[in-house]
C-alpha cells in the first residue's frame, strides 16, 4: 500500500510537471507569433508590357555591333532570348517598427565585357541599392552591374512626416495579388492605409500603377505588389548595408 501511495504521488508530480512544461511551450509559441507593432514587408515589382520595345535601344546597339563585326569576319553571338515576364525593377520596403529599409534591384541588358571582342555578347545584369533609415539618419550602399560596391556615408534622413491629406485621393478599394490597395482615379494605388501605412517621408509608396511615359521606353510599365506581411517579425538581414568584399 505504501508503494502504491508513493508511486501515485510521484506519478502526480510527473503529470503536473508535464502540464507546466506544455503550458510554457504554448506560451513561448504564442509569444513568437505575437504581432510586432509597426512592422511590415512590402515587395513590389515593375515589368514592361513589351519586352522587345523596352530593350529596343539595346537591340539597336547589338545590331550595330554585329554590322561592324561582319566587316571584321568576327562571329557574333545571338541576341539573348528574353523572358516575356521579365521584371526590370523589384523593391522591398520593410520596417521592424524602429528602422526602415528600401532594397531595390534593377535589371538591365548590357554588353558582356568579359566576352571576346567582336562577339557582341550581351547579358542580363542587375544592380542593387539598399537604404536604411534609423534614428533620424540614413545610409545607402549600392552594387553596380560589375559587382563593385559603393558605400555612402551616414547622413541626416531629412524626411518630412507623412501628411494624411496626401491620402485623400486614394478612395477606390482593390486587391492585387492578395494585397489590399486603395487607388486613385488615375489608377495609381497604395497599400490600404487602414491595413498599414507604407510611406517614404511625406509620400505614400506607390504599390500599383501603369505608366506609359516612363523615361520614353515606348511601352507601358506595369507596377504591381508581389506580397505584403504586416505585424510579423522582420528578417534582420534585410537591414544589412552591403559591405565591400
pLDDT digits (tens, 9 = 90+) for 85-94: 899 999 999 9
What mean pLDDT comes out for the span 230-236? Answer: 94
Query: Cell digits for 116?
Result: 571576346
Predicted confidence band of residue 100 (pLDDT cuts 50, 70, 90): very high
Distance separating alpha carbons of residues 245 and 143, to the nearest angstrom: 11
| DSSP notation for the chain | -HHHHHHHHHHHHHHHHHHHHHHHHHHHHHHHTS--TTEEEEEEEEEES-HHHHTHHHHHHHHHHHHHHHHTT--PPPPPPPPTT--SEEEEEEEESSEEEEEEEEEEEEE-TTSPTTS--EEEEEEEEEEEEETTEEEEEEE-TT--EEEPPPEE--PPPP-GGGGTT--EEEEETTEEEEE-TTS-EEE-TTT---EETTEEPEEEEEES-GGG-SS-EEEEEEEEEESSPPPGGGGPPP---
Q: What is the pLDDT of residue 204?
A: 92
Planar angle of CA 204, 210, 216, nearest 5 degrees: 105
Name the more confident of 55 and 4.
55
Give pLDDT, residue 30. 43
Q: What are the structural domain ranges in the chain?
A: 1-34, 35-239
Only one residue has cell 501515485, namely: 8
Average pLDDT, the chain: 84
177-187 pLDDT, tens digit each: 999 999 998 88
Name the CA radius of gyration of the chain, rounded: 27
**CB–CB of 51/86 below 8 Å?**
yes
Share of the chain above pLDDT 70, in %: 82
Q: In this predicted model, what pLDDT tens digit does every residue of 12-68 receive, in sequence order?
A: 444 333 333 343 444 444 444 557 788 999 999 999 999 999 999 999 999 999 999
Per-residue model confidence (pLDDT) at position 214: 54
pTM, two decimals, is 0.80
- Cα(first)–Cα(last) distance of the chain, in Å? 74
Amino acid at each position: 500500500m505504501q508503494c502504491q501511495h508513493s508511486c501515485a504521488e510521484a506519478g502526480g508530480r510527473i503529470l503536473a510537471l508535464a502540464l507546466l512544461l506544455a503550458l510554457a511551450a504554448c506560451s513561448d509559441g504564442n509569444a513568437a507569433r505575437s504581432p510586432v507593432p509597426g512592422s511590415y514587408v512590402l515587395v513590389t515589382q515593375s515589368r514592361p508590357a513589351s519586352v522587345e520595345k523596352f530593350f529596343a535601344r539595346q537591340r539597336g546597339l547589338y545590331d550595330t555591333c554585329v554590322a561592324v563585326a561582319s566587316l571584321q569576319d568576327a562571329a557574333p553571338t545571338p541576341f539573348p532570348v528574353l523572358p516575356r515576364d521579365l521584371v526590370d525593377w523589384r523593391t522591398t520596403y520593410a520596417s521592424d517598427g524602429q528602422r526602415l529599409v528600401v532594397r531595390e534591384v534593377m535589371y538591365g541588358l548590357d554588353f558582356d565585357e568579359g566576352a571576346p571582342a567582336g562577339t557582341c555578347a550581351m547579358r542580363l545584369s542587375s544592380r542593387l541599392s539598399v537604404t536604411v533609415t534609423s534614428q533620424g539618419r540614413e545610409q545607402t550602399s549600392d552594387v553596380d552591374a560589375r559587382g563593385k560596391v559603393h558605400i555612402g556615408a551616414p547622413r541626416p534622413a531629412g524626411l518630412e512626416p507623412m501628411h494624411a491629406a496626401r491620402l485623400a485621393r486614394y478612395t477606390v478599394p482593390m486587391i492585387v495579388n492578395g494585397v489590399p490597395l486603395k487607388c486613385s482615379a488615375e489608377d495609381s494605388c497604395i497599400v490600404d492605409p487602414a491595413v498599414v501605412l507604407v510611406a517614404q517621408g511625406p509620400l505614400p509608396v506607390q504599390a500599383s500603377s501603369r505608366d506609359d511615359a516612363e523615361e520614353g521606353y515606348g511601352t507601358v510599365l506595369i507596377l504591381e505588389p508581389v506580397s505584403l506581411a504586416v505585424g510579423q517579425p522582420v528578417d534582420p538581414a534585410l537591414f544589412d548595408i552591403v559591405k565591400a568584399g
